[in-house]
Structure 1
Amino acid sequence: MTAGGRAVSARRVRRIGSVVGVFALWTLVTHLELVSPLFLPSPDRVVRRGISMWAEGTLQEHVLASLSRIVKGFTLGSVVGVGLGALVAEFATVRRMVRPVVELLRPLPGLAWVPLAIVWFGIAEAGKIFVIFYGTFYPAFTNTVDGIQRVNPRVVSCARTLGAGPLRVFRAVLLPAAMPSILTGLSIGMGLAFSFLVAAELVAATSGLGWMIGNGRRFFRTDEIVLGMVLIALLGYVFITGIVKLRRYVLRWQGE
């Protein structure tokens, strides 16, 4: 095995070890009842609750509802963020029109939009998708603008000298060079999307993992609360890991 392969294996072992360590500590604390089971359920109790909800069909319903909102909100926020970011980075007129509005709204956290989204959309899907869209948009937009503006102007000038038109310059020069920054923005946006999903579902939903956590709080079902938290963490990890792997694949020509 090469030195690089050994380093990757060591990192993987450390990651797995840390997860196993946390799980073992959780099991030990709950089985020794160092914390009341009323406040921190044991892992086996959480698993039993998950099996019960799966048999009832409610767990699948909540997972699919949350996944649908994440995919729609994240996709919309990413497409608009990257597209508008590219226009702002390339055209001064668009930059003068759009940048002030974007910068004005930037300090507003996505959670601040939840009450207004409820007023506008009620508990309809559009409200939750809007909140996720807002959380995803800014990382995608900011990183796209930054990535394109960091491209060496000499490279762009050389491409134009060789006869490349604006569209070809964007597709063959600007987009590949800005891709690391864009994909980083999408990775950040995915993490934020799950945070805003939970916030929106806690207050304006009748299904979803966030709603499930809120329902567990109302009835003091801590096993249901922890189950929802674990599922959100796992789904978030899978989605973010997927973006990281996509980045490595897309940028393999850069040796990343």
Structure 2
Amino acid sequence: MNTLQSTTTLHNGIKMPWLGLGVFLVKDGEEVVNSVKTALEVGYRSIDTAAIYRNEEGVGKAIAESNVPREDLFITTKVWNADQGYEATLEAFEVSMEKLGLDYLDLYLIHWPLPSQGKYVETWKALEKLYKDGRVRAIGVSNFKVHHLEEIIANCEIIPMVNQVEYHPRFNQQELHEFCKKHGIQLEAWSPLMQGGLLEEPTLVEIADKYNKSTAQVIIRWDIQTGVVTIPKSTKAHRIAENADVFDFELTQEDMDKINTLNLDQRQFADPDEFDKI
């Protein structure tokens, strides 16, 4: 975990970078193209998008215009709720691939479990097919709780390789993290900085001053040392570079413990058992 290209190995042997760029709420066109190009120039190799972000075309354009070999990149997208179900998921995948301009994907995720529809097991079976057909190097889920994962494990052939969830010092999802570790599922953090809501937190400011780092850098470093892949989002070039500058220091166990005490089991966004937006 000592360079921006450092990777974790998923349970199927695929290597996934510890740090990536998330592009949630980044506008398609110039904004997302510039953000992704900046990240690739800085040295990022992992880019995380989703069908519902409506910026897959811009991500694809940035990838095509960059001089980074495709095999060095790790590209993630997600199937949206309206496309859950076996056939619909396979169709949605083709649409995403066309927009991205790619012939294979590194990671495909179910965006939300959407339990009100009861289709996520069927959706997962479509991901299994894409994986077996060699269209995707790894498959996983997003926003899945323990009981959703248990249902997948009980009814499907392949255990998810990744579970991407809301994760930050106020909501460290310890029970879920332990479950994922037990089953070889890599936890990945979205909204790791709580959308900036933790940047003035006194404990984090104190730790950041000690290392001559920003609070954002301390949080990202905490994620990585906790064994959680993280994908902070930014459109500002200096922030994209700053977020990646976390491989030249290491938090002590004492500082890790201090950050762990900030947990309030405080979810900032929707509860996956209740979120049913189509």
TM over 0.5: no
Which has a greater percent of strand?
A: 2
Over alpha carbons, which structure has the higher Rg? Answer: 1
Higher RCO (C-alpha under 8 Å, 6+ residues apart): 1
TM-score, length of structure 2 as denominator length: 0.21
| Structure with greater helix percent | 1
TM-score by length of 1: 0.22
